[in-house]
Structure 1
Amino acid sequence: MTTPIKIELKCPCCNTKFESRSLMSTTVGFKETDFHPISLGFQALPLYIHTCTHCGFTGLLGDFEKPKKISNQLAKRISNEIGPLVRDGLPDGGTRYEFAARIAEWQGKDPETIANLYLHAAWCCVDERDMENESIYRLSAIEYFKRALDEEGCLSDDSRTTVTYLIGELYRRVGEIELAHEWFNRVISESDSDEAKQKIVALAKQQKDNPKNML
């Protein structure tokens, strides 16, 4: 069961104090094969992301509680590019995760972090039945996951296997089946006795040969 609570946050960009909603508890009933968690009750994903409606700064709870220093130049960019999009009220969860991804890129955060924000945006779109933006966000997640694979030291060995699988699954979900199989084959070709990796290898084989949407 998803139980929301009200919290007060201070924006690290403009210092405005504002009220947001967060989670007191949630129960995940199922997961999809792209690791999208399905909560019991209403979906919890939008409660993990917070937006200052004064300037537009958007991020996860840690971005407010333990913020990085925001330069005047970045603060101005956030206010100019995102601020006008939130002053009439909060947009949907997918859009707010997109804002967080854009800000994370402007802050120079690593590509895996940015990819995961776009992936969360896509998951929100699934819950919101926004198929057009779901595909856009999945493709953005693919782009940044690829960058994470290319960037030395960005991913652990275990994470590389999972990210490679995810790229294949995301391609499958946007209808790019040949590309999906290419990335699944990269996972399948791995020979490793590690149990966690072998689970991902087995999942890649399943999604190539007999794909399912739920784990």
Structure 2
Amino acid sequence: MQQLTPAYDKKCECRVCRQSFTTKKLRSRFVKAADYDSDFCPNYSDETMNPLIYHIHTCPHCGYSESEDFSPYFPPGALDLIHSKVMNAWTPQDYGQDRSIIDAVNTYKLALYCGTLKREKHIIMAGLLVRLAWLFRSMKNADQEHRFLKLALKEYLESYMSDDFKGSSISETRIFYLIGELSRRTHQPEQAVKYFSKVIELQSRSTEPKLIEMARERWYEMRQEQKTAAN
């Protein structure tokens, strides 16, 4: 009997050039996070079993890159932009095999560029940016992690202001918590406290008590830090 491998080939069709290709995915039974950071970054004892590495599908024929969260809709003019700025500049390369973490970083940057050209929702862009920050965290690259956390925070704030997270898997409680936590991690304590307070205010109608508790813990930690600094 053939032994099941952690990775398998997923068949894809590029939404831009319409050519078929395969990309690697990890079977969920092999993926086990050891624990999670306070911004939901999963930590894996075996970093090669990190599904974030295979989150992006990159067409080897034209370079168009996206995650499964991308909308199938292309606004007027978006396809022309992708043709001129991505396809015409693409040197054929295949990210459909086993990826290094550097390969993964390259696919995220391609997806961010494609998402910008097709005016993808802020909540989708925020998700890409925070995952890219997590990859840099796993590489112990604090400068790049901080850079992409700040960019993710900006997109989460835009998403909240424009309500474009509505209808996604991100609840109001979660987006408030993420804004608070990313503000804390990027050294913006006043904004962090403001959004953690918003989470706590939702406790009577939220269905996510764990998030309320996490926000309360962060809020308390920050208050203690402020008192210590004042003394």
TM-score normalised by structure 2 residue count: 0.73
Gaps of 5+ in 2: 223-231
Q: How does 1:62-77 map to 2 (within 5 A)?
A: 67-68=72-73, 71-77=79-85
- Aligned identity (percent) is 22
* 8 Å contact kept, 2:69–2:124: no
Q: C-alpha displacement at 1:192, in angstroms?
A: 1.6
- Residue correspondence of structure 1 range 38-57 to structure 2 within 5 A: 38-42=43-47, 43-57=50-64
How many residues in Structure 1 have an aligned counterpart in Structure 2? 205
Q: Which runs of 5+ in 1 are unaligned?
A: none
Question: Match for 2:144 among 133, 148, 153?
Answer: 133
User: Does the alignment pair 1:20 with 2:27?
Assistant: no
AA aligned to 1:78 is V
Alignment deviations for residues 120-158 of structure 1 (CA, whole Å, 9 cap, x no partner): 111111122222221111111111111111114642697
Confirm whether residue 117 of structure 1 aligns to residue 107 of structure 2. Answer: no
Contact 1:165 1:200 in 2 (8 A): yes
Larger Rg: 2
Root-mean-square deviation (CA, aligned residues, Å) is 3.1
Deviant stretches of 4+, over 6 Å? none
Q: Deviations over 1:69-91 (max 9, x none)?
A: 5623322222356x36x759775
Q: Which has the higher relative contact order, 1 or 2, with Cα contacts under 8 A spaced 6 or more apart?
A: 1
AA aligned to 1:172 is R
- Correspondence 1:1-215 to 2 at 5 A: 3-25=6-28, 26-42=31-47, 43-61=50-68, 67-68=72-73, 71-80=79-88, 83=90, 87=93, 91-152=102-163, 154-155=165-166, 159-196=171-208, 198-210=209-221
1:206 is paired with a residue of what secondary structure?
helix
Instruction: In structure 2, give the amino acid aligned to 1:13.
Output: V
In structure 2, do the counterparts of structure 1 residues 209 and 94 end up closer, same or farther at CA, with 3 Å as the change threshold? Answer: farther
